[in-house]
Amino acid sequence: MEVFYNHETTSFRACWARILTSLNIVVFFFTVILNIWSFQRLNSCNKTTLLPTDSRQQRVLKSHYPLIDLAQYSPKRFDADLGAPSVYKGPPRPQLDDAWKRLVDQPMLLVNNETLQSFDPTSKPSKGVNGHYYATVEVYHQLHCLDITRKFIWRQNYQHVDTFQDPPDMVWEHVDHCIDLLRQVLMCNGDIGLVFYTDVGKLKPVPRFSTTHMCRDFAAITEWVNKHDSELGIYAENDVN
């Protein structure tokens, strides 16, 4: 009887061991699937701005605002080392101002109510015409803020700029608004790339800021926006060749 009892105990323990192993396998695969799902959601969040999370709503929005799909990502290497030449850098001069003007001065769009509510659900009245509402693509306002901050640094050369005709406290408020907006944009995008340092012996290591990033095609964005200029009476959802 004692041998029989030990045999059953061993079988009982083996059975439970198999059950626990199976449960561990199930939990492991569930965890893997959950992590993949979480990564995909995080990845999609990093590539959109204030878009609905529901897939059906996203499909509807994309049909009304095609720029979401058109602004594709591709690798781009920054030219950001100290002293690197750039048409956007340096003291005020006509070529510099023209380059910034081409970046910032872009037309407004006319978007429908579905797009308005997706980006800015509000009960506030919005300026519009024929059931469509005026909007500016965010990147151009952000570039405007950077340009105003640049001009403020050299404001003795830009006394003619409309913004600087305001009372001094309002000018400071405008610049403060721009600095804080750009802070929020940078923190929102949260660039997790890495900067490495060149070893130069006993001297201070030199950071290498010219790194590769995944960037939206800015030229394609600007081309699309100009084809859908609100002054042309073309709506954002229209397909323009």
pLDDT of amino acid 139: 97
CA distance 146 to 133: 26
Q: Which residues pair with 212 in a beta bridge?
A: 77
CA 15 to chain centre: 53
Degrees, nearest 5: CA angle 96-100-105: 145
pLDDT of amino acid 16: 61
Backbone angles phi, psi at 10, to 5 degrees: -65, -45
pLDDT of amino acid 53: 54
pLDDT of amino acid 33: 61
**Is residue 175 a contact partner of residue 40, using CB atoms and an 8 Å limit?**
no
pLDDT of amino acid 21: 65
**Is residue 112 a contact partner of residue 237, using CB atoms and an 8 Å limit?**
yes
**Is residue 140 a contact partner of residue 106, using CB atoms and an 8 Å limit?**
yes
In the chain, where the domains are located: 1-50, 55-232
Provide the residue-wise pLDDT of the chain in tens; the chain has 241 residues.
444 444 455 555 556 666 666 666 655 555 556 555 444 544 444 444 555 556 656 666 777 888 888 888 999 999 999 899 999 999 999 999 999 999 999 999 999 998 998 888 888 899 999 999 999 999 999 999 999 999 999 999 999 999 999 999 999 999 999 999 999 999 999 999 999 999 999 999 999 999 999 999 999 999 999 999 999 989 998 877 6
DSSP code for 122: -
Residue showing tokens 């061991």: 17
pLDDT of amino acid 136: 96
Q: Which residues pair with 216 in a beta bridge?
A: 73
